[in-house]
Chain A
Amino acid sequence: MIHSLFLINSSGDIFLEKHWKSVVSRSVCDYFFEAQERATEAENVPPVIPTPHHYLLSVYRHKIFFVAVIQTEVPPLFVIEFLHRVVDTFQDYFGVCSEPVIKDNVVVVYEVLEEMLDNGFPLATESNILKELIKPPTILRTVVNTITGSTNVGDQLPTGQLSVVPWRRTGVKYTNNEAYFDVIEEIDAIIDKSGSTITAEIQGVIDACVKLTGMPDLTLSFMNPRLLDDVSFHPCVRFKRWESERILSFIPPDGNFRLLSYHVSAQNLVAIPVYVKHSISFRDSSSLGRFEITVGPKQTMGKTVEGVTVASQMPRGVLNMSLTPSQGTHAFDPVTKMLSWDVGKINPQKLPSLKGTMSLQAGASKPDENPTINLQFKIQQLAISGLKVNRLDMYGEKYKPFKGIKYMTKAGKFQVRT
């Protein structure tokens, strides 16, 4: 199982190590550093690195490498999933997960890691159980602790730990009982030069914030559940009920959690809410190129597209760009060759555009790669797949909760080739 964990920052310093079995010398990370050096970018460090006696499995998040050391045959996905869980937990505890924050809270981090694994076996990874064992630091608690000498380590066995509903603690009480659900969809798409869709898929999630007293039993039904043929559920969802009736029935965890994630695949027709018109030309002989892009709405069901940003990695031969946007702000970094344009809202009457010239390296031949345009956008009150919640009912408790459902569509990896 998982032997040790090293946290390494992007400059290659190990700033935290934790061992769950015997101590593994940190020199084992040298193999990782070698791989890091070979990879041009941090993202490209391979996640599985063999060394003569160990295997190093790593994830890269928040500019930190989380490197797990294992010695025997362990499912790598198990380790990688766990590492992501560690990052999520840190984020949950400290708001952000960064080197300074981890260093500031090193003792809590250490205590949490100790609770998460025992002998390399996962012990408690549910955030609500962890939080009962090790209280997250808050300014108030730190002050109180210093004054009263009490601790941030719970001395009670977390109640959820062994019950049939391990994700929920007992004795939850709220004065305002509320349950909010966010249906968030991200479109991953590749659009080719001519504007036709090569592939498009939707990654959707339903995130919930449930603050209900007692042991509520909820059911959530959809207008069009047939859209959901590829789903992953939170453990609380009763799978049998879903299979037979296509209804989500569950006792929710307390607080924030992800109820389900789903995937609408490339085979279904996916509506593409925006289009990009582009004309980028590098002229062979002269050292000037023309650049023009326009962004417009496509299938938005009448909703506004907002939060639009455009980013594009320009070819190395581009020295500088002089562009004028019709709205928003733009920037070009001549070192990284990254063009970014913060567009904002799209007004269908007056489409935003960005045009101008590029100065190219004199004498160099025409760049052979065309830049790919990366698009970000948001559409409120719309689930692009058409998914709609029908109703939410609560059983098992007497009070009437306040319910709310929100929809949102975002761009995931939305790429337009030019």
Chain B
Amino acid sequence: MTDSKYFTTTKKGEIFELKAELNSDKKEKKKEAVKKVIASMTVGKDVSALFPDVVNCMQTDNLELKKLVYLYLMNYAKSQPDMAIMAVNTFVKDCEDPNPLIRALAVRTMGCIRVDKITEYLCEPLRKCLKDEDPYVRKTAAVCVAKLHDINAQLVEDQGFLDTLKDLISDSNPMVVANAVAALSEIAESHPSSNLLDLNPQSINKLLTALNECTEWGQIFILDCLANYTPKDDREAQSICERVTPRLSHANSAVVLSAVKVLMKFMEMLSKDLDYYGTLLKKLAPPLVTLLSAEPELQYVALRNINLIVQKRPEILKHEMKVFFVKYNDPIYVKLEKLDIMIRLASQANIAQVLAELKEYATEVDVDFVRKAVRAIGRCAIKVEQSAERCVSTLLDLIQTKVNYVVQEAIVVIKDIFRKYPNKYESVIATLCENLDSLDEPEARAAMIWIVGEYAERIDNADELLESFLEGFHDESTQVQLQLLTAIVKLFLKKPTETQELVQQVLSLATQDSDNPDLRDRGYIYWRLLSTDPVAAKEVVLAEKPLISEETDLIEPTLLDELICYIGTLASVYHKPPSAFVEGGRGVVHKSLPPRTASSESAESPETAPAGAPPGEQLDVIPTQGDLLGDLLNLDLGPPVSGPPLATSSVQMGAVDLLGGGLDSLIGAPNFVAPPAAAVPTNLGAPMGSGLSDLFDLTSSVGTLSGSYVAPKAVWLPAMKAKGLEISGTFTRQVGSIAMDLQLTNKALQVMTDFAIQFNRNSFGLAPAAPLQVHAPLSPNQTVEISLPLNTVGSVMKMEPLNNLQVAVKNNIDVFYFSTLYPLHILFVEDGKMDRQMFLATWKDIPNENEAQFQIRDCPLNAEAVSSRLQSSNIFTVAKRNVEGQDMLYQSLKLTNGIWVLAELRIQPGNTSFTLSLKCRAPEVSQHVYQAYETILKN
């Protein structure tokens, strides 16, 4: 007697049979039939044809049958909207039922029927249920509001459900509070600007009280909501922390992690001298460790978060290294994460243990894991200087195993060790050279070639070794080719006498026989360097390289701070801010850690970052890829540690461009031995290209006569309303002067004369600079175009909306009034470019509350195009920076009344959505500036 019997009828007439059974008089038979229908539905069979028959079974006092029918309804109502209407009556009736279970069930099911027509009928029952005497019904109704909002947001707002929902936060029942918070959070996510969860000390207090009494899931909602609150001072932060810490002992790991998030965030506000601060740090370690004894899936998420936590506050887990040791039957995704954290926690105190473990891992079966373990040894060497020697000897031991992938991986990391500790461990080179033949991966080959080139003077047969690679030059990957080219040039500079032939050979291979522009360009550069000024060549090619540091794999501090605010979320799993991956780019509000209020030194907040860190700071770090200097110094081996491969193709394009530009001057050099003529035209590609784009620039600016974007004329005053006078117009800004371009059309039957215009007082004091001059009377059906110059010295009054302009036009017939909205960019003045320092200072100076963020969607332009287009409308790019593949434009503009607006525009290649953050002392203009951006960029 199991449910599998419901699957057994697979004959042709199945639906027909079911239909008959559903219409049976016998209750029992009906129920069985509905069960069969549900069973078919669960396995994905289409049983929607039975809709009317199933709905007929709905009016029953048998609760199970009712539930089953509801299940069916939820699944199929959307495909049969007309039929679904039939169910409405029963729902409305059920919402009045004396049994709260039935009331709740009805309101729950109603919300799941995603049919527009039905939703309207549901507002009244829902309103009642939100105020139901039974908390079970209320908490169900709270969720229903979220469902309804998903279907029809406008309806929910119009019906005032949001306010009712907000009231439920003060409900006496903690479960209702938790559900109201959950529903509001979900709604707020699709409306980032709306201030739904208005948190203040009172509401926080209510939430904290409910926190102790509601279910585990409710606790998660409440904690996540608390995390968005910014306490007003350190005392409030501490008191919240005190009330949240008991959650760390909860059995549900999601509760624990959400509590950790709240604590990590609010801790930022506490002074480090406080006793409580130390206590809190100690309390955080055990729950994090406990998370690691949970199921592997939970461990994985926990580990990704711990990775962030140890970067932000390494002191929390510094004694817990052992719990991250890998068990051989951990799933691979757990192993890799544990390894990562082990390296982050490695210090002089525990390095011996760590190394012993890593060596153990390097003999495991799983190739990916072994590779990472070998890399980890290299990272330890770079991180903990005292251990470097031991690491190198461990690596040598591993090379002795002769396991192919271990050897290759070891060579790659040894190269990094050389970069970190030059002239220390070169004695091992001989051992490395023995393994030359077994290297078949490009990265390992490139690393080996780099080593040979770098230490050519110590390797007797360096020329032979490199020559052996040269034989199959064209079969090598680009990485190896580039490396080989540089290595041979280095060799030549070090031992010029015996390697002349070799260098000739490689230069011709690179320049003539290769169709890789990157390789060719580098070949030419070297060729010219060598032929013009060997001393300079030596200086460039054999220059002292900056040391690498372990910091390269750390998350950028500003990003880290942002991610700490997202502990426990998907963002923390991907180590990317939500804006980088959240579906649909719903405006995501940037979160930042609260500044420490008690101490004078303000905590690092993301706003201090723009305009780039001073270059001096990065000296000891490997230059980012695509950096021309780095390229010439031949540091393109990639970051010294494992990590996702960077998109090198785009980087190389950048390099081509830079080299191409530099070529011009090189061509002009007097004693230049010309490379084979055939190659020259291809090299001219780059400069020509840029010339071409200049031309394009020209055309684009011709269109607007170096003025800002002008919207097409719109009808402002229809003829109907103005006794036959139709006015359409637009606003322009050209060379510093604003004008209103009007088009007056006489659609009446009589002649119009005596035109005059006047503006009401407005936000920016716009006023006509000259009278409206219509030279001849306007006869019927005649149109005249006038450009009315404007100035901004009129009287000022704040309008709603800000850019509203009320206009009165008079003629011989009557006076007419209309109002129009002007685009804000006509007010952007020509001297709106702020200098960098000033920008940085101002950005920091403007309080964070004044920052507004917007999304500009579907804009297919790249950073350059955006910048030049905005510039023609007087939005100036102050600085440009590339952060993790995203272009950040820092821009400034000034309004006619002297208000500065600072902007940060984030552009991701390949993503047509931009993120615009605006900061201004008068935050009310931000919205309009954003609209101006939209109009300029999209037209």
Contacts and interface: CB of A to CB of B under 8 A. Distances in A.
Interface of A: 1, 14-23, 26, 39, 43-44, 46-48, 50, 53-55, 57-61, 71-78, 80-84, 100, 103-111, 114, 118-119, 121-122, 125-126, 139, 142-143, 146, 149, 151-157, 161-162, 164, 166, 188, 190, 192, 198-199, 201, 203, 229-235, 239-240, 243, 258, 261, 263, 265-267, 313, 315, 368-370, 372, 374, 413, 415, 417
A72 B256 CA distance: 21
Interface stretch (B262-270, B293-301, B551-559, B770-778): B293-301
Given A78-B220, A162-B175, A47 B297 contact: yes
Contacts of B68: 107, 111
A55 B882 CA distance: 28
Contact of A103 (B4, B64, B175, B252): B4
B360 A265 contact: no
Most chain A beta-carbon neighbours within 10 Å: one of B147, B403, B574: B147
Nearest to B214: A166
Contacts of B249: 231-233, 239
A322 to B, nearest CB: 24
B217 A125 contact: yes
A75 B63 contact: no
B570 interface: yes
Contacts of A109: 42
A207 to B, nearest CB: 12
B325 interface: yes
Interface string B541-571: 0000000000000000000000000001111
A84 B322 contact: no
A154 B27 CA distance: 18
Contacts of A151: 31, 62-65
Contacts of A161: 136
Contacts of A114: 67, 71
B18 to A, nearest CB: 15
A16 B574 CA distance: 29
Contacts of A60: 297
Given A80-B301, A156-B101, A230-B289, A166 B331 contact: no
19 contacts: A18-B42, A22-B114, A77-B298, A77-B302, A103-B3, A105-B3, A106-B3, A107-B35, A110-B38, A122-B217, A151-B31, A157-B134, A188-B327, A201-B293, A201-B322, A229-B286, A232-B287, A265-B320, A368-B401
Interface of B: 1-4, 6-7, 27-28, 31, 35, 38-39, 42-44, 62-65, 67-68, 71, 75, 78, 99-101, 108, 111-112, 114, 134-136, 140, 143-144, 146-147, 150, 173, 175, 179, 182-183, 186, 189, 213, 215-217, 220, 224, 246, 249-254, 256-258, 286-287, 289-290, 293, 295-298, 300-302, 319-320, 322-323, 325, 327-329, 331-333, 353, 356-357, 360, 363-365, 401, 403, 568-571, 573-574, 578, 581-583
A162 B42 contact: no
Q: Which 3 A-B pairs have the closest CB atoms?
A: A230-B286, A104-B2, A151-B64
Contacts of B27: 149
Contacts of A78: 217, 220, 254, 568
Contacts, number: 258
Nearest to A104: B2
B316 to A, nearest CB: 14
Contacts of B298: 77, 80-81, 84
Given A155-B63, A190-B325, A413-B329, A73 B189 contact: yes
Contact of B43 (A15, A22, A81, A232): A15
A229 B283 CA distance: 9
Contacts of B220: 75, 78
A193 to B, nearest CB: 9
Nearest to B291: A77
B6 A374 contact: no
Contacts of B28: 146, 149
A74 B224 CA distance: 10
Contacts of B38: 106-107, 110
A122 B139 CA distance: 12
A108 B78 CA distance: 24
A16 B43 contact: yes
Given A122-B215, A153-B63, A199-B325, A1 B287 contact: no
Nearest to A189: B327
B363 A368 contact: yes
Interface of B, secondary structure class, is helix
A297 B6 CA distance: 55
A108 B143 contact: no
A54 B583 CA distance: 8
B64 A152 contact: yes
A112 B574 CA distance: 33
Contacts of B254: 75, 77-78, 80-81
Given A75-B258, A114-B71, A106 B251 contact: no
Nearest to B176: A162
B329 to A, nearest CB: 7
A203 B293 contact: yes
A21 B150 contact: yes
A106 B322 contact: no
Contacts of B99: 155, 157
A166 B215 contact: yes
B583 A53 contact: yes
B1 A146 contact: yes
A77 B568 contact: yes
A44 B333 contact: yes
Given A73-B189, A103-B4, 6 more contacts: A78-B568, A111-B64, A232-B256, A232-B290, A266-B320, A267-B319
B569 A76 contact: yes
A372 B570 CA distance: 35
Contact of B182 (A121, A139, A261): A121
Most chain A beta-carbon neighbours within 10 Å: one of B42, B62, B175: B42
Nearest to A81: B254
B363 A266 contact: no
Contact of B323 (A77, A153, A199): A199
Contacts of B286: 229-230, 263, 265
A26 B44 contact: yes
Nearest to A258: B251
B297 A119 contact: no
B39 A72 contact: no
Contacts of A265: 286, 289, 320, 323
B143 A118 contact: yes
A237 B483 CA distance: 65
B37 to A, nearest CB: 10
A267 B224 CA distance: 32
Given A19-B75, A77-B298, A81-B252, A106 B364 contact: no
Contact of B568 (A15, A16, A75): A75
Contacts of A155: 63, 99, 101
Contact of B297 (A14, A58, A153, A235): A58
A146 B574 CA distance: 52
B101 A157 contact: yes
Most chain B beta-carbon neighbours within 10 Å: one of A19, A22, A164: A22
Given A119-B111, A156-B101, A413 B327 contact: yes
Contact of B71 (A83, A110, A157): A110
